[in-house]
């Protein structure tokens, strides 16, 4: 590098006015023997490298020399003239070398062959000193040149679809051109049409809000309004709705007609508060007010027909209780000592008066007697309290029969008085009276000895079960589970309902007294078991599990500790009957089919066996301790609905079925 060239890189401070700006020194003049056309390719590359991009210290603008485009961007400020001359001279040397007449090597000429050589005037133009001191661009740059385009440009004016009005008359094509891009060929005409709502294009109606409200109110008040489909300025006024009313009012609107004041209905006046008896005040009646609304002749006819129908229906519903009568089937009611059949026999080989159960019980094996007399299925059988020497049965033939268990085993008496099937029966504690519940909605109290019907009770609902209170001092009270979800308590002496236990959600199926008769347990079609304190109409224990089924038959064990419940999922569940009424999960008796039937369950007197009938007419006997099914035999042709173990016998069991028979097994 020459000494003069190295001086270009040394900064100099150019006067006080520039506040220490660093500017390069002017370039030295070219050598006298320098021929730009003979410059080697190496010198041309060096010049190009030096002059490509150069930014002196302290100058914010970039100084660019693009040798190909002859473009010079120079920073403004004093001293620019000297700098431009120095830089230009270096640039011209490089240009002259690169665009020379081809005196270089072949490779250089080949590589630079794509460029055009500059004319002499252009190449020397920059060497001349500018007349003015102001800098100027070497070449004028056209910022927006014309460009040849192959496709035809669309010069039409596009309308904004959201615009409301235009200041000129657009053509049809302009107005209905697609909004964006080309038209979609697959859109239907309906879809392509302009829409501002889902169903189409709704134009705003040119009607004043006040006018609209005026016509709406006029129509609501008088029933007419101007026809909105016509231009009322051009067409003579036309009305819709009540045209006659419009002509009558001369088409006046609500705002134009002062609505006539309706005369107020006159009231009787007595506003003197001191008149205590006669004071009316705001409660006074209207003068023209009618106290009684009298039906017209047609309405009266209809009312008469309806009342007549109701009376007919009422007559059918209010069935009179069937006439009670009794039939004695033995020749003499009293023996030679004047004793009736209620007298407990003492010559049967068993002490029927004892309160101690037999020590050991055995499985019954064979049938030893059949009591036949009922013409339809037998619903239930009950043994005489304590002794069990008599048997009471009720049947679907509406009759109740009393049978001997010992001796000749005769039918002693028939009680007739119900008009429909008898559902349940219950002795009182002494056995002198019994209650019967039937589907004729009557509960009847009978005298066991004479057969007389003492009294009858009804609340117009079907009784499903009935029980005397076993306490000696409450023999005048009994409870009945009804079809209307209530347990009703009657007093025999007055014949009135004295208490209602209304908590079940379904018809009540059974009632069993527990805990020394202080409480009773009831089950219902609502699949629950409820425990009640006597005479308190709120259940203090409610047992209902999601897995539980309805339990239409419940029996208390002889020792009073357990409740056997016949569940509708073909098993017998055992609940504790003393305190917590918990389900004993270890004692579940299975193996019989009872779904749909309220088959009675019973215990052997020594608590060693559990017996139950089933839907197939079989008698099932389980062992209490192991819950094993010990014995099963066919007892009846139809459903075996009742099974009772005699309280003083070791192996005597009485069963009844829907075949109308009562059988004794031993």
Complete DSSP assignment for 38-79: G--HHHHHHHHHHHSEE--TT--S-EEEETTTTEEE---STT
Helix axes 80-98, 41-51, angle to 10 degrees: 150
423 neighbors 442 (Cβ within 8 angstroms)? no
153-174: average pLDDT: 79
Indicate the DSSP class of residue 324: P
498 neighbors 536 (Cβ within 8 angstroms)? no
pLDDT digits (tens, 9 = 90+) for 173-196: 888 777 766 777 888 888 878 888
Which CATH code for domain 326-333+362-665?
A: 2.130.10.10
Which residues, other chains included, contact 240 with Cβ-Cβ below 8 Å and sequence gap of 6+?
A: 224, 225, 226, 227
Among the ranges given (14-23, 33-42, 321-330), the one the predictor scored with the smallest mean pLDDT: 14-23
> Residue 98: pLDDT band by 50, 70, 90 thresholds?
low
Q: In 3D, which of 312, 304, 385, 381 has the Cα closest to residue 342?
A: 385
558-562's contacts with Cβ under 8 Å and 24+ in sequence apart are: 558/357, 558/603, 558/605, 558/607, 558/647, 559/607, 560/514, 560/515, 560/516, 562/587
Q: What per-residue confidence (pLDDT) applies to 2?
A: 44
pLDDT higher than threshold 50 for residue 65: no
pLDDT higher than threshold 80 for residue 517: yes
Q: How many CB atoms neighbour CB 431 within 10 A?
A: 20
Indicate the DSSP class of residue 152: P
Which residues, other chains included, contact 557 with Cβ-Cβ below 8 Å and sequence gap of 6+?
A: 563, 564, 577, 603, 607
Q: How many CB atoms neighbour CB 498 within 10 A?
A: 12
pLDDT higher than threshold 80 for residue 46: no
Helix (H, G, I), strand (E, B) or coil at 597: coil
| Joined tokens for residue 231 | 């231009």
> CA 486 to CA 488: how far, in whole Å?
6
pLDDT digits (tens, 9 = 90+) for 432-460: 999 999 999 999 999 999 999 999 999 99
> CA 67 to CA 311: how far, in whole Å?
125
> CA 25 to CA 19: how far, in whole Å?
17
pLDDT digits (tens, 9 = 90+) for 305-329: 999 988 887 655 556 677 899 999 9
Indicate the DSSP class of residue 36: G
Q: In 3D, which of 100, 57, 55, 90 has the Cα closest to residue 73?
A: 55
> CA 348 to CA 153: how far, in whole Å?
130
> CA 75 to CA 57: how far, in whole Å?
12
575-582's contacts with Cβ under 8 Å and 24+ in sequence apart are: 575/529, 575/543, 577/514, 577/515, 577/521, 578/514, 578/515, 581/521, 581/529, 581/531, 581/541, 581/543
Is the Cα dihedral 187, 189, 194, 199 positive or negative? negative
- List strands edge to edge, sheet with 640-645: 367-372, 661-665, 653-657, 640-645
pLDDT digits (tens, 9 = 90+) for 196-232: 888 888 777 777 888 888 999 999 998 999 887 776 5
In the numeric block, the tokens 């020792």 are attached to 559
Q: In 3D, which of 619, 615, 621 has the Cα closest to residue 658?
A: 615
Among the ranges given (4-8, 360-364, 564-568, 661-665), the one the predictor scored with the smallest mean pLDDT: 4-8
pLDDT digits (tens, 9 = 90+) for 387-402: 999 999 999 999 999 9
> CA 40 to CA 44: how far, in whole Å?
6
> Residue 147: pLDDT band by 50, 70, 90 thresholds?
confident
Q: In 3D, which of 364, 374, 424 has the Cα closest to residue 399?
A: 374
634-649: average pLDDT: 95
Average pLDDT, the chain: 81
In the numeric block, the tokens 């209207």 are attached to 286
pLDDT digits (tens, 9 = 90+) for 222-261: 899 988 777 656 656 788 889 898 888 888 888 886 556 6
């Amino acid at each position: 590098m020459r000494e003069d060239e190295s001086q270009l890189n040394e900064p100099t401070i150019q006067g006080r006015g520039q506040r220490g700006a660093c500017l390069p020194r002017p370039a030295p003049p070219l050598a006298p023997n320098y021929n730009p056309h003979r410059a080697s390719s190496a010198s041309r590359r060096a010049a190009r490298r030096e002059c490509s991009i150069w930014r002196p210290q302290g100058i914010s603008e970039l100084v660019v020399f693009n040798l190909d485009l002859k473009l010079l961007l120079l920073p403004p400020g004093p001293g620019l003239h000297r700098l431009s001359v120095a830089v230009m001279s270096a640039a011209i040397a490089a240009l002259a070398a690169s665009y020379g007449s081809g005196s270089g090597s072949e490779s250089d000429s080949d590589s630079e062959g794509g460029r055009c050589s500059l004319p002499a005037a252009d190449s020397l133009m920059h060497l001349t000193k500018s007349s003015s001191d102001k800098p100027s661009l070497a070449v004028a740059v056209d910022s927006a040149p014309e460009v040849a385009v192959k496709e035809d440009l669309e010069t039409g004016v596009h309308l904004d679809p959201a615009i409301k009005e235009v200041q000129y008359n657009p053509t049809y094509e302009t107005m209905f051109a697609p909004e964006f891009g080309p038209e979609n060929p697959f859109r239907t005409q309906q879809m392509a049409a302009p829409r501002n709502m889902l169903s189409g294009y709704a134009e705003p109606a040119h009607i004043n809000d006040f006018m609209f409200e005026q016509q709406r109110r006029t129509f609501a008040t008088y029933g007419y309004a101007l026809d909105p489909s016509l231009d009322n300025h051009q067409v003579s006024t036309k009305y819709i709705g009540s045209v006659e009313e419009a002509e009558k009012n001369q088409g006046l609107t609500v705002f134009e007609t002062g609505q006539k004041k309706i005369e107020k209905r006159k009231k009787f006046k007595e506003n003197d508060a001191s008149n205590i008896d006669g004071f009316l005040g705001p409660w006074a009646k209207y003068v023209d007010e009618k106290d009684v609304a009298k039906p017209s002749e047609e309405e009266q006819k209809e009312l008469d027909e309806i009342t007549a129908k109701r009376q007919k229906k009422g007559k059918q519903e209010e069935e009179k209780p069937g006439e009670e009568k009794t039939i004695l089937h033995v020749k003499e009611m009293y023996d030679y000592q004047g004793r009736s059949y209620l007298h407990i026999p003492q010559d049967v080989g068993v002490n029927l008066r004892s309160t101690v159960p037999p020590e050991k019980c055995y499985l019954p094996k064979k049938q030893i007697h059949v009591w036949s007399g009922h013409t339809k299925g037998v619903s239930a059988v009950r043994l005489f309290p304590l002794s069990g020497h008599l048997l009471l049965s009720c049947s679907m033939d509406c009759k109740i029969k009393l049978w001997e268990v010992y001796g000749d085993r005769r039918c002693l008496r028939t009680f007739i008085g119900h008009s429909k099937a008898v559902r349940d029966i219950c002795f009182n504690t002494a056995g002198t009276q019994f209650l019967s519940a039937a589907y004729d909605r009557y509960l009847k109290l009978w005298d066991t000895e004479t057969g007389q019907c003492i009294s009858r009770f009804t609340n117009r609902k079907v009784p499903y079960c009935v029980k005397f209170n076993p306490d000696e001092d409450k023999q005048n009270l009994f409870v009945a589970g009804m079809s209307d979800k209530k347990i009703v308590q009657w007093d025999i002496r007055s014949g009135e309902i004295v208490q209602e236990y209304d908590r079940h959600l379904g018809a009540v199926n059974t009632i069993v007294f527990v805990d020394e008769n202080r409480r009773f347990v009831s089950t219902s079609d609502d699949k629950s078991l409820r425990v009640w304190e006597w005479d308190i109409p709120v259940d203090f224990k409610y047992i209902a599990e999601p897995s539980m089924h309805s339990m239409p038959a419940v029996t208390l064990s002889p020792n009073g500790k357990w409740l056997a419940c016949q569940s509708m999922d073909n098993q017998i569940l055992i609940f504790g009957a003393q305190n917590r009424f918990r389900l004993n999960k270890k004692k579940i008796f299975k193996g019989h089919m009872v779904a749909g039937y309220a088959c009675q369950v019973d215990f052997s007197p020594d608590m060693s066996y559990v017996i139950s009938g089933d839907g197939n007419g079989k008698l099932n006997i389980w062992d209490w301790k192991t819950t094993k099914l010990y014995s099963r035999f066919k007892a009846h042709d139809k459903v075996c609905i009742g099974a009772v173990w005699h309280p003083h016998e070791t192996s005597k069991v009485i069963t009844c079925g829907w075949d109308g028979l009562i059988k004794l097994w031993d």
